[in-house]
Amino acid sequence: MPVPHKGAGIRVCNCARLGVALPLVDTLSILSLCTGYGGLDLVVQRSFAKRGIDTTITAYAEFDAHAASVFSYHHPEVPNLGDIKAIDWTDHPADIVTAGYPCQPFSQAGKRLGTDDPRHLWPFIFEAICTIRPRYTILENVSGHRSKGFDTVLGDMAEGGFDARWTSLRASDVGAPHRRERVFIIATPAADTECSRRPRRAPHTWG
């Protein structure tokens, strides 16, 4: 089922406009999935820093060796958990989970095979989110996702006990000379649900 272009009329992707309450804490831990070179995590860290909240990336999961080499160059102290299909998430609690999961199943530039695409990793991302139950889940994907698979993502998050807000943002919206539209989702544990009342695991201290 296609999803409308604008999420609740929101165009600017920031926590204040998305109505997400930020906690008064010293440092929030980040677990990054499908990390790539770490662009989404850079944005997340800068966004929280603007609101006076420190963050630290405690672990990431990137299967592609070339992308992982770029990320590890900038974050040599952060361990790579590898293939997200083979990770026991009970060992990796975090305050924030980020994921720019593969866009090929949804992209207008490809065949849009959805769940039939072997690169369809959303079920594994969702498993991680439900196990870890972070304070914040921040997801990113291509604009074509709105009309392919997006209803499943939002439905899964609701069933898992999370409230999700989303928006679309173009690179040109922040001054870049190209469109490159992307969808961003911010999800938090829903209030007054059985899932939200589960004890949340304490973030792991690495090192």
Indicate the domain borders of the chain.
27-189
| Catalytic residue (choose from 34, 103, 130, 195) | 103
pLDDT at 22 over 60: no
**HSE, side-chain direction, 13 A CA sphere, residue 179:** 4
Predicted confidence at residue 163, as pLDDT, reads 95
Kindly report which listed range (13-27, 54-68, 140-154) carries the lowest average pLDDT score. Answer: 13-27
Which residue shows structure tokens 């831990």? 29
* DSSP-derived secondary structure letter, 10: B
**pLDDT tens per residue, range 50-59:** 999 999 999 9
pLDDT at 10 over 70: no
Predicted confidence at residue 102, as pLDDT, reads 74
Domain boundaries 27-189, CATH class = alpha beta
Predicted confidence at residue 144, as pLDDT, reads 76
Predicted confidence at residue 20, as pLDDT, reads 56
Q: Where in 72-181 does DSSP place strands (E)?
A: 96-99, 136-142, 162-169
67-84 burial, b for 16+ CB within 10 Å, e for fewer?
Answer: ebeebbeebeebebbeeb
pLDDT at 16 over 80: no
Active site residue 103: yes
